[in-house]
Structure 1
Amino acid sequence: MSFDLLLAGGEIVFPGVGVRTGSVAVKDGRIAALLAPGEQASARKVIDCRGKWVMPGLIDPHTHIGFGSNETDFETESRSAAIGGVTGMMTFHRSNDLRQSTGPWKERGESQSLIDFGFHFGVTSKLHIDTLPECAERFGVTSIKVYLMYKGASGAAKGFTEIDDGLLYRALLQGARIKGGVVGVHCENVEVIPVFREPLKEAGRNDLPVWDEQSPGFLEAENVFRVIYFGEKAQCPVNIVHMSSAESLEIVRRAKRPGRAPIHVETCSHYLSLTSQSPIGFLGKVNPPLRSRNDVEALWEGVRDRTISTIGSDHVPRKRETKGPDIWKASAGFPGLGTLLPILIHEGVHKRGLPIEQIAAATSANVAKLYSIPNKGHIAVGMDADLVVVDPDREVLVDPATQESHSDYSPYEGMRFKGAPVRTILRGRIIASDGAVDPDARATPAGRYLHRS
Structure 2
Amino acid sequence: MTTVIKNGTVYQNGRLLQADVLIEKNKVKAIGQDLTGDHVIDASGKLVSPGLVDVHVHYRDPGQTYKEDIHTGSSAAAHGGFTTVGAMPNVTPVPNTPDLIKKMIAENKKKGVVHILQYAPVTVDQTSDEIPDYSALKQAGAFALSNDGHGIQSAQTMYLAMQKAKENNLIIASHCQDNALYQNGVINEGEKAKELNLPPITELAETTQIARDLLLAQKTGCHYHICHVSTATSVDLVRIAKARGINVTCEVAPHYLLLTDSDIPSDNPYFKMNPPLRSKEDQAALVGGLLDGTIDFIATDHAPHAKSEKEGSFRNAAFGITGSETAFSTLYTKYVKTGIIKLGKLLSLMSDVPADKFGLKNCGHLEAGAEADIAIFDLKHEAEIKEEDYLSKGVNSPFTGEKVYGQTVMTIVSGKVVYERGEENE
When normalised by structure 2's length, the TM-score is 0.89
Q: Is the 8 A contact 1:124 1:147 kept in 2?
A: no
Q: Give the counterpart letter for 2:202 in structure 1.
A: P
Aligned to 2:291: 304
CA drift at 1:352: 4.0
Matches within 5 A, 1:148-167: 149-150=150-151, 163-167=153-157
CA drift at 1:48: 2.0
Over 3 Å counting, the alpha-carbon distance change for 1:195 and 1:69 in structure 2 is: closer
Over 3 Å counting, the alpha-carbon distance change for 1:196 and 1:339 in structure 2 is: closer
- Name structure 1 gaps, 5 residues minimum: 152-162, 438-453
Structure number with the bigger relative contact order (C-alpha 8 A, sep ≥ 6) is 1
Q: Is the 8 A contact 1:61 1:310 kept in 2?
A: no
Q: Give the counterpart letter for 1:285 in structure 2.
A: K
- Establish whether residue 294 from structure 1 lines up as the match of residue 281 from structure 2: yes
Aligned to 2:139: 137
Aligned to 1:85: 81
CA drift at 1:399: 1.4
CA drift at 1:220: 1.4
Over 3 Å counting, the alpha-carbon distance change for 1:317 and 1:230 in structure 2 is: same
Query: What RMSD over aligned residues (CA atoms) do the two structures have, in Å?
Result: 2.7
Q: Give the counterpart letter for 1:184 in structure 2.
A: A
CA drift at 1:217: 2.3
- For 1:405 and 1:225, how far apart are their aligned partners in 2? 35
- Establish whether residue 245 from structure 1 lines up as the match of residue 231 from structure 2: yes
Aligned to 1:263: 248
Matches within 5 A, 1:190-201: 190-194=179-183
Q: Give the counterpart letter for 1:28 in structure 2.
A: K
- Establish whether residue 272 from structure 1 lines up as the match of residue 257 from structure 2: yes
- For 2:104 and 2:67, how far apart are their aligned partners in 1? 10
- Establish whether residue 189 from structure 1 lines up as the match of residue 178 from structure 2: yes
SS of residue paired to 2:288: helix
Aligned to 1:104: 103
Aligned to 1:23: 20
- Establish whether residue 348 from structure 1 lines up as the match of residue 335 from structure 2: yes
Give CA deviations for 1:221-268 in whole Å, capped at 9, x if unaligned: 22111111110001111111111111110111122126x332101010
- For 2:147 and 2:324, how far apart are their aligned partners in 1? 23
Over 3 Å counting, the alpha-carbon distance change for 1:238 and 1:119 in structure 2 is: same
SS of residue paired to 1:6: strand
SS of residue paired to 1:42: coil
Give CA deviations for 1:96-140 in whole Å, capped at 9, x if unaligned: 6332321222222222111110012222337863411111122x3
Match of 1:337 among 321, 324, 329: 324
CA drift at 1:401: 1.5
- Establish whether residue 51 from structure 1 lines up as the match of residue 45 from structure 2: yes
Match of 2:203 among 201, 217, 227: 217
Q: Give the counterpart letter for 2:144 in structure 1.
A: S
- For 1:292 and 1:249, how far apart are their aligned partners in 2? 14
- For 2:367 and 2:130, how far apart are their aligned partners in 1? 38
Aligned to 2:116: 117
* Aligned-pair identity (%): 23
CA drift at 1:345: 1.0
- Name structure 2 gaps, 5 residues minimum: none
Aligned to 2:35: 41
Over 3 Å counting, the alpha-carbon distance change for 1:352 and 1:289 in structure 2 is: farther
Give aligned pairs, total: 412
Aligned to 2:399: 412
Q: Is the 8 A contact 1:209 1:276 kept in 2?
A: no
Q: Give the counterpart letter for 1:135 in structure 2.
A: L
